[in-house]
Structure 1
Amino acid sequence: MTRQSTLPESCIRVFLLITLAAALIITPAVAGEKFLYGSPDLRVAITGTNEFTPGEEATVNLRVENTGLTTIKIVRSDIVARDDRPDTAKMAVVKLKSGDAPLSIKTDPQMIGDITGGSSATASFTIQLDEDAKAGTYTIPVSIEYTYLSSADQHGDDFIRYFYNTKVIEKDLRIVIKPDVRLAVTDIETEAVNVGTEGYVTLTVHNTGKEDARSATLRIERSGASPLIPTDASSYIGDFPSGAVVTSTFKVSTSKNAEPGQYPLNVLVEYKDRNGQVKHSDPRTIGVTTGGKIEFTAVSPPVAVSPGQNTVIDVEYKNIGDAPVYRATARISAVDPFTSNDDTAYLGDMAPGETKTARYILNVDSTATEKIYGLDSEIRYRDALDNTQISKTMKVEVEVVPREAALPVVAIGAILIVAAGLGYWYYRKQQQQ
């Protein structure tokens, strides 16, 4: 009886295991889902400021938001899950245009990728406003091109076909071009602007902008590595309303290593706007003509002197520069075998191309070697701004030559006796007549 009851229990256990395994094998896959009545709905706006000034290069930041919603969702075991939702804007490309606004777009269309419903993406564009842009409010168009899932057809439980559409939307964005102070340099005059010296630059400027400047200061600045360097760089001009014209004078210096020519100089105005904020106008670069440097040369031929003598020498100097000099004084440096107790000479004012003569007393040592020597000489003068300047060192050539041989004393006495005799003879002859 015991064996008959045990066998059925074993069969029951095997049957249950087989049934459980079969149940696991034929369990359906996880239920899929699909959405009905959803599509992208894109909106775009400028983030940050939308106010700009003429001539400005600025960045416009755009935010693209997808407000699309899915209103119906179906979940069922026989549905194959979709890879894309119908409210997703895929492969979105943003393009900014200038429209009628006085600006240019310097950035190509921007790819911002996929934007799912309820999310956003950003794009940045660089714009350049026209120099003469008028103040006011302008609209600039922006277009967004994207692809979205329009529908999907399922065939069986293992095949689905997607259908995508491409759409382009156009939006208008508003920007504001603010009035500002804009400079136009209408006249440039220079005085004594020469290489290696200081001079004056007088500028006439016109406020061509639409903003009235208050408590304004006109300034000049060095432009890059220009050899033209401001030394008196600002001029207070007070109120400088739109359309006004002012004239100011500045002092500049030119590097001694420069060549004559035209060099850049920046001009701008610092002012308070209508809200009391301190602003700076965009700098204007002008060209300032610079004359040549002030130079001298000794033009006289070598001066002949003899050993053991004190000699008065004349040296001619010529102003070969491009500017006059004032109260010039020449000096010669006497070195061995020369000495001098009178080594300076006043030349006075010298115009370009003018020549003046300096006179010195030069003592020559009796042991001096007979040859040509080069003595250093320089000229100290005042420039047009009454600054003391010293010229480059010049060489004055002095040639030591042999002394002329003196006549013997006996020969001199004989000559005197003969001369006296001839004189007496001539006198007697005149008396006899």
Structure 2
Amino acid sequence: MKKMAIFVSILILISGVAGAYDTLSAYSVSQSFDFGENYYNVDGSPDISATIIGSNEFDRGQTITLNIDLMNNGKLFGFENDRTPEDADEIYGAQTEMKLESAVVDATGIVASLSADPGSPIEVKSVSQRIGSIKSGQNSLSPAKFDIKIDKNAKTGEYNLYLNLSYDYQKNVQVMGPDATAQTYDVNRWYGMMVQNQTLKIIVKDQADFEIVSTTGSLFPGGEEVLIIEIKNTGEEEAKNVKVIANPSDPLSTTDSVAFISTMTPGSTAVAKIKIKADSEAVSKVYGIDTVVRYETLEGDIKYSNTLQVPVEVKEAGLFQRLFGWI
């Protein structure tokens, strides 16, 4: 049997975007494609859907790798007879063309990109990526992965992400020089490009958030003071078993860095007391003490707030402190 010879002619075109799933509005036909030799025109195309793997609910301030599964739901709707075969070779050619035309539902060379609305608190940090090919009825071999960052000040609620997919697909096939006896033929393929857009939704969850309302207390070099720190729950969720943890750095220090607070409902304030000492060589100025809030969610999960800055002033030593030291 003579070895099969395959001749492929490829034409790729970019279409405009019209909706969530866009079909091509126009093509330029390859010069090597002879419609007079075409047996069938096929009706069908790929159709890729996207789904976020796992939960789509996140906390503000998080950086997440979003895994997106792609599935090709392409459908072949039928064939339209373009030319009737007249002899054994043409019948073989027509049968071969019909088999090859079924690949119209397969997507090849998929490129995916993700974007957010202008001004959105969601930042997409990943560039476009190549996914490969997906046959109809199959999923991508591996998910598309996009890193996103949620602003720490994002409001609770639902946000849109826009997945753009572009890929090639086989628009039409022409079988030339079919030889039924030798079972050989040449083939000319006409390719196009399809663009699809899909909106994915992520949710920024209700959660407790905290801010420093005020700080009472000041220090002198070499002195020690109990700071009274007023904290407010500015979030949407109750925080249980709250602990305020201070982490001062030179020239400030503490021997008791944790203050216990019970429960803080949304909008409520509470007072934490932390004993702070200033080194004798401390320069007089306002210092910031790194502080975090440890709390339990309503579900019992342990969470930590973003680092909060607690201001504390070290004052210049007066005559009394210079003469008698700190009492």
Normalising by structure 1, what TM-score? 0.53
Change (3 A) 1:131 1:38: same
The residue that corresponds to 2:317 in the other structure is 323
1:41 to 41, 44, 47: 47
Contact 2:218–2:314, Cα closer than 8 Å, also in 1:
no
How far apart, CA to CA, are the structure 2 residues paired with 1:48 and 1:254?
49
Cα displacement (A) at 1:184: 1.4
Contact 1:267–1:283, Cα closer than 8 Å, also in 2:
yes
The residue that corresponds to 1:51 in the other structure is 57
Contact 2:208–2:233, Cα closer than 8 Å, also in 1:
yes
The residue that corresponds to 1:94 in the other structure is 112
Residues 167-209 of structure 1: per-residue CA shift (max 9 Å, x gap): 2212222322211111111223332253x55443332221110
Contact 1:28–1:77, Cα closer than 8 Å, also in 2:
no
Amino acid at match of 1:173: L
1:68 to 55, 74, 77: 74
Q: Is residue 107 from structure 1 mapped to residue 126 from structure 2 by the alignment? A: yes
Change (3 A) 1:226 1:105: farther
Q: Is residue 119 from structure 1 mapped to residue 139 from structure 2 by the alignment? A: yes
Contact 1:214–1:240, Cα closer than 8 Å, also in 2:
yes
Cα displacement (A) at 1:29: 3.9
How far apart, CA to CA, are the structure 1 residues paired with 2:269 and 2:107?
56
How far apart, CA to CA, are the structure 1 residues paired with 2:116 and 2:220?
45
The residue that corresponds to 1:185 in the other structure is 212
Change (3 A) 1:48 1:229: farther
Report the identity percentage. Answer: 24
Question: Counterparts in 2 of 1:25-424, with a 5 A limit?
Answer: 27-29=1-3, 39-68=45-74, 76=92, 85-99=103-117, 102-117=121-136, 118-120=138-140, 121-156=142-177, 159-192=186-219, 194=221, 198-222=224-248, 227-254=251-278, 259-291=283-315, 322-323=316-317, 351-352=320-321, 383-384=326-327
Contact 2:224–2:278, Cα closer than 8 Å, also in 1:
yes
Normalising by structure 2, what TM-score? 0.69
How far apart, CA to CA, are the structure 2 residues paired with 1:193 and 1:40?
74
Change (3 A) 1:95 1:290: farther
Change (3 A) 1:209 1:72: same
The residue that corresponds to 2:27 in the other structure is none
Partner SS for 1:351 = helix
Partner SS for 1:203 = strand
Change (3 A) 1:258 1:105: farther
Amino acid at match of 1:237: I
Amino acid at match of 2:139: S
How far apart, CA to CA, are the structure 2 residues paired with 1:239 and 1:165?
61
Amino acid at match of 2:157: G
Partner SS for 2:262 = strand
Partner SS for 2:105 = coil
Change (3 A) 1:77 1:146: closer
Which structure has the bigger radius of gyration?
1
Contact 2:234–2:266, Cα closer than 8 Å, also in 1:
yes
Residues 313-369 of structure 1: per-residue CA shift (max 9 Å, x gap): xxxxxxxxx336xxxxxxxxxxxxxxxxxxxxxxxxx62565xxxxxxxxxxxxxxx
- The total of aligned residue pairs comes to 272
Amino acid at match of 2:233: N
